[in-house]
């Protein structure tokens, strides 16, 4: 297909579906009007411009065979419980990193090592075997990614996971105490200009679903006694440092570059438990936390308490306990109705919240928040310096390196480009300034959106990726559960240009786009990392202690070190397997017929499984990863004797 034909197809595909638009916007207007917002304030999405694509360069997204992508994209998998890794601009998926889910590809949730990370019950079974990943963010140095860790939340079971970026493997999972609906998460990205710390030290976590505190059967029917907590976790030890009890709930989280402020947007300041109760207020809030004051209170043991069986110190961040700005630990900045998303501008000056049920984005100046804490600003609302009307259903905002913001409009099915400085000027009274710079249609209902390196000081203004929630009619039909679309948008020019559609499996949430030079992975492991490694094939052996049998085994293409091993019916069998191959990409799998065992051992890695030999007979063990011309012959036998 030549470029002219491609362009024609692109223009046709980007035309709004007028019937769908009318239905969605009518439904949205009814809901918004019922919530107390004037429909007259809402723009007509059906008439929005699609942007000039006449100069589209589709070659920008081509990555030829043998060439490498310019960026990694790390994306949460949603209710699959994993984290996915893509290359951009190609959109090729490289890996699914199992985190809160079981994964037979690598044996996650099956091996003893992964079970120890996920957590088990006394009987050795997994405490949880599913999760709901939402937000993926990486560790920082000097306000940009350092390639050490990724952090991701589990909304269902309220866990925080850490992924090593040298191996792309999860190495730690913790459960937050007294929390339900753990949604927003963001690492500390403080700048050592102000403090002698040049790496991520803390991870901040928000609680979305208010619940009884503690949730042990008391106060179940009195919603007004429910509460929410904001949690701080030590990034290295992965232990909970402190919690703050707040009014309302937490949605998403953003951190300042100097480490002084953290914020969470709140959409249920009514503290309701039903749909209608959550939408009564015309204004909700973005809640700011003064980190230094909180940690000083914790250190001094001043006004701290604990909840239930948890030993984590908690302080009170509710407005009634924080009336004096000079001693307050929280600042509730009013923002329009039901905000979803709070994002930090790369210059470190502003946080932007979007009013999900308001056609506005709210620009909050961090210096003014600090002045409020110092008693120099009269009200929290005075910290707002911009509030442009940008479209219907604004959610998440990314930034370029030219002072522009890019916000997803869920109901308009658009990305809107607007200028932060112009929004501030308009808020001050300049009626002539042009705030909205461009709009482009996406297919359909964009949820999260993000720019390349946009969550760092090194935002480069090259790409915007729109994660869309509906892909109806976009791809070949494949059953009632559709894949979703991630549309890659070129933002280098004045006009945004949609250049590619990438499919994503249901259901991704947030993502980040990271330059490839930041990520430095290992290609093989070090045998010395594994205390049970078998360093030489001649050390292979069978050890028996009563009914417990340990098989010490190695692999080196194309053979396992033992062609057979014998156990007795009823034995508790542990197989420890070390891959002695030192060749990059030469992994071996190990599966046992009829015993539900399957895992992968990478070069110089050791993994183990434990199971009960509950069936007598001969059971073939074989390599599941193609590794050699004699791969099919790479076998051993487990003989279970009566």
Residue 465: predicted pLDDT: 97
At 41 the pLDDT is 34
Domain ranges of the chain: 1-101+391-520, 527-641
CATH superfamily of 527-641: Cupredoxins -  blue copper proteins (2.60.40.420)
Angle, vertex CA 147, rays to CA 145 and CA 153, nearest 5: 80
Dig out the tokens for 282 from the structure: 């015309």
Model pLDDT, residue 435: 98
* Per-residue tokens: 46: 């059906």
pLDDT averaged over 10-residue windows placed end to end, the chain, 642 residues:
41 39 43 39 35 70 94 95 97 96 94 97 94 96 95 97 98 97 94 64 96 93 94 97 95 95 94 87 95 96 95 97 97 95 96 94 98 97 98 96 97 97 97 97 93 97 95 91 94 96 89 97 95 96 97 97 97 98 95 97 97 98 94 96 95
CATH class (in words) of the domain with range 1-101+391-520: mainly beta
Structure tokens at 234: 């030590």
Q: Which of 231, 137, 148, 237 is nearest to 187 (CA)?
A: 137
**pTM given for the model:** 0.90
Write the DSSP string, 355-402. Answer: ETTSSBEEEEEHHHHHHHHTT-SS-GGGGEEE--B--SSEEEEEE-SS
Instruction: State the DSSP string of 183-218.
Output: EEEEE----TTTSS--S--EEEEEE-S-B-SS-SSS
pLDDT score recorded for residue 53: 47
């Amino acid at each position: 297909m030549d470029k002219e034909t491609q362009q024609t197809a692109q223009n046709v595909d980007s035309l709004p579906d007028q019937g769908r638009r009318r239905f969605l916007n009518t439904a949205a207007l009814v809901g918004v009007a019922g919530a107390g917002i004037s429909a007259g304030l809402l723009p007509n999405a059906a008439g929005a411009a699609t942007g000039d694509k006449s100069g589209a360069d589709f070659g920008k997204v081509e990555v030829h065979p043998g060439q490498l992508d310019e960026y990694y994209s790390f994306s949460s998998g949603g209710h699959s419980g994993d984290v996915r890794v893509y290359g951009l601009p190609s959109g090729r998926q490289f890996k699914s990193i199992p985190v809160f889910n079981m994964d037979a590809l690598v044996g996650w949730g099956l091996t003893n090592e992964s079970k120890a990370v996920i957590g088990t019950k006394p009987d050795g079974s997994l405490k949880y075997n599913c999760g709901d990943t939402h937000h993926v963010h990486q560790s920082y140095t000097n306000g940009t990614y350092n390639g050490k860790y990724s952090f991701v939340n589990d909304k269902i079971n309220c866990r925080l996971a850490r992924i090593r970026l040298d191996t792309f493997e999860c190495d730690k999972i913790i459960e937050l105490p007294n929390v339900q609906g753990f949604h927003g998460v963001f690492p500390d990205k403080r700048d050592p200009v102000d403090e002698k710390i040049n790496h991520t030290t803390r991870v901040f976590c928000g609680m979305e679903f208010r619940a009884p505190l503690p949730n042990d059967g008391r106060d179940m029917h009195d919603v007004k006694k429910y509460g929410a907590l904001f949690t701080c976790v030590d990034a290295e030890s992965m232990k909970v440092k402190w919690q703050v009890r707040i009014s309302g709930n937490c949605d998403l989280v953003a951190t300042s570059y100097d480490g002084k402020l953290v914020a969470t947007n709140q959409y249920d300041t009514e503290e309701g438990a039903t749909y209608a109760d959550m939408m009564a207020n015309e204004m909700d809030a973005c809640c700011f936390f003064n980190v230094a004051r909180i940690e000083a209170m914790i250190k001094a043991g001043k006004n701290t308490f604990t909840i239930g069986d948890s030993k984590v110190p908690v302080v009170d961040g509710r407005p009634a306990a924080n009336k004096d700005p000079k001693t307050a630990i929280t600042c509730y900045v009013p923002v329009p109705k039901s905000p979803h998303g709070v994002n930090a501008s790369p210059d470190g000056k502003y946080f932007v919240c979007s009013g999900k049920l308001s056609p506005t984005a709210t620009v909050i100046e961090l210096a003014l928040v600090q002045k409020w804490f110092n008693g120099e600003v009269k009200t929290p609302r005075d910290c707002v310096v911009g509030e442009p009307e940008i479209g219907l259903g604004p959610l998440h905002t990314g930034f370029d390196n030219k002072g522009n913001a890019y916000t997803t409009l869920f109901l308009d099915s658009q990305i809107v480009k607007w200028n932060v400085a112009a929004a501030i000027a308009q808020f001050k009274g300049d009626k002539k300034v042009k705030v909205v710079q461009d709009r482009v249609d996406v297919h359909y209902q964009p949820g999260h959106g993000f720019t390349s390196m946009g969550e760092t000081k090194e935002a480069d203004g090259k790409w915007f990726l729109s994660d869309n929630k509906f892909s109806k009619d976009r791809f070949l039909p494949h059953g009632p559960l559709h894949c979703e679309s991630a549309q890659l948008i070129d933002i280098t020019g004045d006009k945004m240009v949609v250049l590619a559609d990438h499919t994503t499996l249901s259901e991704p949430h947030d993502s980040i786009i990271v330059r490839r030079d930041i990520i430095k992975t290992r290609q093989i492991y070090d045998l010395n990392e594994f205390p049970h490694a078998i360093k030489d094939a001649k050390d292979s052996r069978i050890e028996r202690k009563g009914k417990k049998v340990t098989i010490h085994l190695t692999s080196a293409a194309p053979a396992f070190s033992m062609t057979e091993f014998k156990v007795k019916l009823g034995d508790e069998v542990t197989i420890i397997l070390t891959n002695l191959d030192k060749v990059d990409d030469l992994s071996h799998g190990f599966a046992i017929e009829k015993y539900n065992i399957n895992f992968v051992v990478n070069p110089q890695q050791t993994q183990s499984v434990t199971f009960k030999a509950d069936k007598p007979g001969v059971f073939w063990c074989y390599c599941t990863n193609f590794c050699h011309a004699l791969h099919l012959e790479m076998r051993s036998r487990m003989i279970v004797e009566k």
